[in-house]
Chains A and B, each alone.
Chain A
């Protein structure tokens, strides 16, 4: 089982699933906060809506389009 970090906390996740699925399996539904301070999370889950974007290894990416990899550093609500 790969281990990723979410906001610095280690987390063992299933191999071959998306970062979004890994987070949702943990009950984490909010990936970022809107300009006006509202919670945002995946809407479409298929790479179109961009709502589930978060920071992975220093780069803003779509959580639903990214497979988990050993050692990934995920930052929720980076901006």
Chain B
């Protein structure tokens, strides 16, 4: 079998790329040592969110969200249009919310400023004394591993549970020694990308999540503190931020934490404690809720917080689709469009330049 494309990595990014390339008529083979949706795809929150930190991120998340809206997902993908409610604690953050709103409105996205009183009505379990917020109703929630599996099922591509030991010029070598030639290789292995291509500027950024017992009706929207924007970017310090999400089961998913240089994937009770304290500070009702599971995962972070999407400058046939940090679920579909455009030469609605691996990386 002569493969047009071998996709390394069956997380949501690899699955979306395989789905898109198969749709474009390519023969696609997907390889993953662990199986479908086992890495960051299984660890994350599954928040489909438009982010406006910078123009390229805004474009990629916005375009991706439009693609999400075209998917006809099965029920067990648990897509819920919860919307994101960005919560402002003080006047400064409320000004930030107002600035944020104008950017969304300029792109014809729905964005509604919420007064302190309206915030209490929308989410009565939030603590009193908050300043207000910004509601982005089109944001949603999914269960990412199921989406990855669904995209692969839909595309009918072959998926093999094997480990790749080396990326070759136009092909890959497996740990078994078998070589698989292909016109193109797509590398979509998140933090593990550096195991195969050591020169990539990707660092693992550890995160913790906790999930509660079923508490139907505790919250309706994904709630994120606006200061998340300050804590989540540009700093190497360990940080936590209030970020909670209602699941369709009635459970509450509680985040978020960010750590560089974590020694391993074990639960770090100090940062978990900080994270849960932050959550209960915003939502005191969480004090009485039972957390039933806690886990960690690793985001693939790049120096400028933008993913690496496009041809590798020195390796024949290799296209990168990695470094999505905390936005890989949202941006998987837009990434797949870009990858498909790089491989087929057909134009893409997105400008590919900001994500090219050859870009001048401006440290965020």
Contact = CB atoms under 8 A, between A and B. Distances in A.
B292 A35 contact: no
Interface string B231-264: 0000000000000000001100000000000000
A50 B216 contact: no
B197 interface: no
A51 to B, nearest CB: 9
A61 B213 CA distance: 10
Interface in A56-79: 59-62, 79
A50 B293 CA distance: 9
A60 B250 CA distance: 14
B249 A53 contact: no
A79 B290 contact: no
A45 B288 CA distance: 22
Nearest to A35: B249
Contacts of A61: 290
B210 to A, nearest CB: 12
Contact of A79 (B216, B288, B292, B293): B216
B231 to A, nearest CB: 30
A51 B213 CA distance: 10
B342 interface: no
Given A35-B249, A79-B250, A53 B213 contact: yes
B214 interface: yes
Interface in B46-77: none
Give the interface size bracket for A toward B.
under 10
A50 B290 contact: yes
Interface string A24-63: 0000000000010000000000000010010000011110
Nearest to B213: A60
Contacts of A50: 213, 290, 292-293
Contacts of B292: 50, 53
A78 to B, nearest CB: 9
A35 B214 contact: yes
Nearest to B288: A59
Nearest to B248: A35
B255 to A, nearest CB: 19
> Which residue among B289, B290, B293 has the maximum number of chain A CB atoms within 10 Å of its CB?
B290
Interface in B272-308: 288-290, 292-293
Contacts of B216: 79
B290 A60 contact: yes
A33 B260 CA distance: 39
A6 to B, nearest CB: 20
A35 B290 CA distance: 16
A62 B216 CA distance: 19
Contacts of A35: 214, 249
Interface string B292-326: 11000000000000000000000000000000000
A59 B213 CA distance: 11
A41 B338 CA distance: 48
A35 B143 CA distance: 15
Contacts of A60: 213, 289-290
A60 B293 CA distance: 15
A44 to B, nearest CB: 13
Contacts of B290: 50, 53, 60-62
B297 to A, nearest CB: 20
Nearest to B247: A35
Nearest to B292: A50
A61 B288 CA distance: 10
A50 B290 CA distance: 9
19 contacts: A35-B214, A35-B249, A50-B213, A50-B290, A50-B292, A50-B293, A53-B213, A53-B290, A53-B292, A59-B288, A60-B213, A60-B289, A60-B290, A61-B290, A62-B290, A79-B213, A79-B214, A79-B216, A79-B250
Interface of B: 213-214, 216, 249-250, 288-290, 292-293
List of 5 A-B pairs having minimum Cβ-Cβ separation, nearest first: A50-B292, A35-B249, A79-B214, A60-B290, A60-B213
Given A35-B249, A79-B250, 7 more contacts: A50-B213, A50-B290, A53-B290, A59-B288, A60-B213, A60-B289, A61-B290
